[in-house]
């Protein structure tokens, strides 16, 4: 059974779901989700002897949502996770990340590797690989929403209009039928419908991928040296294989890539059994 708890992680109070005891595994969700996106991974990890922790990221779910675009820049997001590791009484943890949670996970592994025992990525490009691919027409077409999300007020209304019809199409309709039950859909829609939460979620894009960044060469990151596993749904409507291929080049440590043909962007929810199998294998490899 999952428990909900809160932790003071420095600047904010973070809400998280947790299950089990043992080595800590922190699972970071993406846009526009909450810790609920790991509902299938928490019990599997607990049963395997791990302490699974799935936080609501800054601005999402029951975690604090500071006002202002700058509050969602990478240094703040990384600081929250580092603060969570400390609040759990740990100096490091296995890190799992999907979508924006994957971006944070990549950045943690590159910049503070002593905090990351292993890295598992679920359909999320390395931030530098993402910046490189945005110069390519094939990925530019898939990333159309990143520019839409820059328009304050307009993007919020776009997500909200007609009972969140665009949000439902963007997320639920891009996954295999049955991936999101009506109850799951309600959890995510209700969370994003709360006052200020749409703006907080969109501020991830505004703070870290502003339009001018599409014209600049990407910044430099240290290579990822920790044991890394990438689990990639090949049916992702928003992320082409070029993102996977370029992300692989950013890892100089042990790397395993698991491809899931036909599985969408929402990989851990659409194919939970396969993801759990690969995730547990990744954790076992890191322990050797």
> Catalytic site residues?
99, 205, 265
Helix (H), strand (E), coil (C) string for the chain: CCEEEEEECCCCEEEEEEECCCEEEEEECCCCCCHHHHCCHHHHHHHCCEEEEEECCCCCCCCCCCCCHHHHCHHHHHHHHHHHHHHCCCCCEEEEEECHHHHHHHHHHHHCHHHEEEEEEECCCCHHHHHHHCCCHHHHHHCHHHHHCCCCCHHHHHHHHHHHHHHHHHHHHHCCCCCCCHHHHHHHHHHHHCCCHHHHHHHHHHHHCCHHHHHCCCCCCCCECCCEEEEEECCCCCCCHHHHHHHHCCECCCEEEEEECCCCCCHHHHCHHHHHHHHHHHHHHHHC
């Amino acid at each position: 059974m999952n428990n909900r708890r809160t932790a003071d992680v420095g600047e904010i109070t973070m809400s998280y779901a947790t299950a089990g005891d043992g080595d800590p595994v922190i699972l970071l969700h993406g846009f526009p989700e909450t810790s609920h996106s790991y509902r299938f991974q928490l019990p599997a990890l607990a049963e395997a002897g791990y302490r699974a922790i799935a936080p609501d990221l800054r601005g999402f779910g029951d975690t604090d949502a500071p006002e202002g675009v700058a509050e969602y820049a990478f240094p703040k997001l990384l600081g929250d996770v580092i603060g969570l590791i400390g609040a759990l009484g740990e100096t490091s943890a296995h890190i799992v990340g999907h979508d924006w949670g994957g971006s944070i996970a990549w950045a943690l592994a590159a910049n503070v590797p002593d905090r990351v025992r292993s890295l598992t990525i679920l359909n999320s490009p390395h931030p530098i690989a993402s910046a490189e691919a945005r110069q390519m027409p094939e990925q530019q077409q898939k990333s159309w929403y990143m520019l839409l999300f820059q328009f304050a007020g307009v993007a919020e209304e776009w997500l909200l209009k007609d009972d969140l019809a665009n949000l439902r199409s963007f997320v639920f309709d891009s996954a295999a039928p049955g991936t999101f039950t009506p109850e799951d859909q309600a959890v995510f829609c209700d969370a994003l419908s709360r006052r200020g939460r749409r703006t907080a979620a969109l501020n991830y894009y505004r703070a870290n991928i502003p339009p001018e960044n599409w014209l600049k060469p990407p910044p430099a990151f240290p290579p990822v040296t920790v044991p890394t596993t990438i689990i990639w749904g090949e049916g992702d409507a928003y992320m082409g294989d070029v993102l996977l291929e370029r992300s692989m080049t950013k890892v100089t440590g042990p790397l395993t890539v698991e491809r899931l043909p036909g599985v969408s962007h929402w990989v851990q929810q659409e194919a939970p059994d396969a993801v759990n199998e690969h995730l547990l294998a990744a954790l076992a490899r890191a322990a050797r």
